[in-house]
Structures are given as C-alpha cells and as structure tokens.
Structure 1
C-alpha cells in the first residue's frame, strides 16, 4: 500500500501508484499522476495536470506543475511531464507549458536537479542531465542529454543547450550552446570541449579527437559558420562511431534560431 503521511492533502482526482510515498504536509492536486516507486517529500506541492513517472525522488518543498509565469497564460489545460528516475532537490519549481508552444513542459529520465532550480514553461529537458543549485531555465529552453548547467546559471528564453555541453558557474546563456562545448562567463564564451564528460561516458580517444577537431573548425580556424559546417561534414566516415557525433552537432547548428555562442 502507498505510504501516505496522515497530514498530506491528496485530492480525490489524483492517481498514485500503491507503492508511492508521500511525506508530511505535502499537497497533491487533481490531475496529478504519480508512478511506481516515487517518493515525495515533506511540504511538496504538486499541481495538475502533470505526470510524475517511476522511481523519482522529490525532496522537501519542491513545487511541481505550477501555473506558468507567463502573462499570456489564461488558464488553458497545459501539462508538465516528468519521466523516470529523476532526483529533484529542495525548493525546485517546475511550471506547466503554454499553448503558445506545445503545451507541455517536459523533463526526461535520470536527471539530477539540485536545490532551487527553476524550470519554466515549455522547457524541454533531456535525459541524464545535471542542473546545479539555482540554475534557471527560462521559457521554451531546450537542454540536450548529458548536459550540465552550472550553479546560478541563467538561460535566456528560447535558447538551446546541446547534448554533452557544460556551462560554468554563473554563466549568462543568451545564445545557443552547441553540443560537446564548455562555456562560461558573461558575456558567454566557449573555452573548449567537455573532455572529462566525454571520457566518463565512454567516448573512445578517436571520437574525442574528432570532437576536438570539430571544435577547432568551428571556433579556432577563422572559418565562417557555413564553411565550418562544410568542413565538419567532410569528416564523415573517418572515425568509427563518429558519424553520430557529427550529425548531433550539425543538426544542432541547422536548428539554431538564436545563433550559437561564438
């Protein structure tokens, strides 16, 4: 049976798997669905419509499924979807989506989201990311798999952070950050490749060398963006397993709407 603290307030319209744990003074509203094995800490507030998947840990005082902080929001039935295996620390705030976008704020699987993180409306957060304390993602931000967002980093609305990228402490992200890159500062600057992250994820030396070559073409050889993209594309077929890395970077560059940090 679910372990529900007697002081928790759970709406009859909420759906909780029998294995869910809910701590003291938590409030769970109508339209909230919580999956197997998830634990919800003391004083958390969950507002629907939202889905919280399996095996998540939500620490005390988190507020999930909040009304979007967007003055255009007029009460439409938008949602928050959170996947499986996430750890969400104290005082985090996640907003639902808006109809001006897809209507859904989405958080993937196995993310490590530290205290006081804000995820605004329509954010699309991938899998296996780390968001350090007080990181703030404005509306419509996209963050790729395995990215790390440093503490007190602010990400401007509509910006994208690519897979395997990392932002340093107190970074000001107002343009798109390509995959694999290490960035920091205000104004934001690229300082190299996220080498340690790639090694931890099992990238071969050859793949890492190719990622470094892509960085050099994009940032060090004085090429225009179009020329850099052509040179990166010409690397196809040269490294075992490397074509996926090329496609990840080139697809990101093509999809960028705010322009990349350069």
Structure 2
C-alpha cells in the first residue's frame, strides 16, 4: 500500500526544482532531475537517473525506471518553444530509457497516456499522441507523432507506427511490424509494411469476452474483408447485418470516423479468422 501520509523522499543527489509539486509518498531516487512545472502524484516513484521536464504531470502510483526522459521538448522541427503538456496516468510502469514528449501547436499542445499502461525499455511516445488505458508497449516500440492508441492495445517489440495512425481498442501489433495504416479495434497487424492478420482472439478471451461475442465478431470481420464490393459498401452490409452488436458497432464507428491514414487490410483476402 502507498504511504499517502508520508512526505516526499528525495535522495540528496537528486535535483528537484522548488516549484515542482510533489504528492504524498513520492520517492525520488539518486541523480534524478525534476523541473519547476512538473506535478508528481501520490506515491510516484522515480527509481534513479530519471529526467522529468516541462509541463509534465505523472499520476498516482506510477513507477519510472532509470534513464527515462519525460516531458523534454518534442522532436518536431516546427516546435518553437510554445507551452505544451505531457500527462501520464495512474499506476503506469515506465521502464528503462523510455522517452515521452509533450505536444505541439499542430496537435493541441498535449500528449496523453492513460492509466495502468506499461512501457518497456527504450520505447517512445512522440508528440501529440493519445494513448489509452492498460496499453502495453514492448521493448523498443516507436510511436510517431499524432498517433492514437486505444485501450488494451498491445504492441510487440520493435514495432514502428507511422504518424497519424490510429490503433483501435484491444488491437495487437506484432513484433518488428511497420504500421502505416489504421488498425481496426480487435485486429492483429503483422509484417513490414503491416497487414491485417485476423482478430486478436487470444486477447479477447483473456479480457473475458464471451464465446458468442467472439463468434459474431468473426462473422462480421469475414463479411467486412472478404465480401464483394468496396470497403465502404461492405461496411454498410456489416451495419445492416450486425448493427447492435457492441464489438461490430465499435469497428464500424472506427471505420466511419476516418483519419489521416488508410485502413490496414488483409493481404489478398487472406488472414481471415
């Protein structure tokens, strides 16, 4: 349990700005640096050699491991020093060498990460990204600017995601994949350049989706990606047959919302679940 009644514990070698706001039970280990506009929630733990800068907020209970760099200016040549934010949620794990950048004027001046997400060593969240709750980034995942990652998505080691790409909820990106198109909710993307390789059935089962829900989603997927006509026409056919099915409706909403990138699709009608 977190000791919310305790004051912050700061190692003598750490450099913490007087204006930084530190919650109860914060632990700042050796050789960390914390800037004046940083807010650390209750029970946040910076293990050692962590650099937190800019207008960065880290939620209660999040742990940050050595050599992580959070909130330093974005890697965008158009950035001109405007005030922007990085917001990290509660109970996240941010492992060694992870980098997260704040937003830019072109993306709403905000990068946000949800609660209970895990970022393994050397992974990167670029400027203006929106990352949901309970997301997992494996080692060396690279997320370019302006990306959106839905809740419960998992990205395998070394995956690289093109700027403006959307990854739907419960999607899975395979290791070393190069993702340049949007991945539907519950979809699996594999390869370089990545293609849609079916549904994340393992993830659905682990998250407690019923057998009936998975079966209906499979039927909708097959109609969506193997039927006749254009993707737009097949989308309407799925809506007519599966309207009211929660997971199918979520996929349809994702397709209709659109984005900057095209939709990731199977190769030549293959990879159907």
- TM-score between both structures, scaled by the size of structure 2: 0.92
Are the counterparts in 2 of residues 154 and 170 from structure 1 also a CA contact under 8 Å? yes
Which runs of structure 2 are paired with 1:117-128 in the superposition (5 Å)? 117-128=123-134
Partner of 2:152: 146
Structure 2 residues without counterparts, runs of 5 or longer: 1-6, 266-273
Matched, 1:259 2:262: yes
Q: Which whole-Å CA distance do the structure 2 matches of 1:150 and 1:255 have between them?
A: 26
Question: Does the residue aligned with 2:105 lie in a helix, a strand or coil?
Answer: coil
Which runs of structure 2 are paired with 1:26-65 in the superposition (5 Å)? 26-65=32-71
Partner of 1:168: 174
Shift of 1:101: 1.2
Matched, 1:248 2:250: yes
Q: Which whole-Å CA distance do the structure 1 matches of 2:63 and 2:29 have between them?
A: 11
Are the counterparts in 2 of residues 217 and 223 from structure 1 also a CA contact under 8 Å? no
Instruction: State the Cα deviation string for residues 1-54 of structure 1 (Å, max 9, x = none).
Output: 211111110001110012100110000001000001111111000002011011
Which runs of structure 2 are paired with 1:61-76 in the superposition (5 Å)? 61-76=67-82
Aligned residues: 258
Instruction: State the Cα deviation string for residues 67-103 of structure 1 (Å, max 9, x = none).
Output: 0100110000000001111011000000000011111
Matched, 1:110 2:113: no
Q: Which whole-Å CA distance do the structure 1 matches of 2:40 and 2:137 have between them?
A: 22
Are the counterparts in 2 of residues 190 and 261 from structure 1 also a CA contact under 8 Å? yes
Shift of 1:246: 2.2
Are the counterparts in 1 of residues 166 and 182 from structure 2 also a CA contact under 8 Å? yes
Shift of 1:213: 1.3
Q: Which whole-Å CA distance do the structure 1 matches of 2:13 and 2:99 have between them?
A: 22
Shift of 1:218: 2.0
Instruction: State the Cα deviation string for residues 98-156 of structure 1 (Å, max 9, x = none).
Output: 01111100000010111000100000000111111000000000000111111111100
Instruction: State the superposition RMSD in angstroms.
Output: 1.2
Partner of 1:88: 94
Are the counterparts in 2 of residues 160 and 256 from structure 1 also a CA contact under 8 Å? no
- TM-score between both structures, scaled by the size of structure 1: 0.96
Q: Which whole-Å CA distance do the structure 2 matches of 1:231 and 1:22 have between them?
A: 56
Are the counterparts in 1 of residues 20 and 39 from structure 2 also a CA contact under 8 Å? yes
Instruction: State the Cα deviation string for residues 217-251 of structure 1 (Å, max 9, x = none).
Output: 222234421122112212346xxxx6321221111
Are the counterparts in 1 of residues 156 and 173 from structure 2 also a CA contact under 8 Å? yes
Are the counterparts in 2 of residues 41 and 61 from structure 1 also a CA contact under 8 Å? no
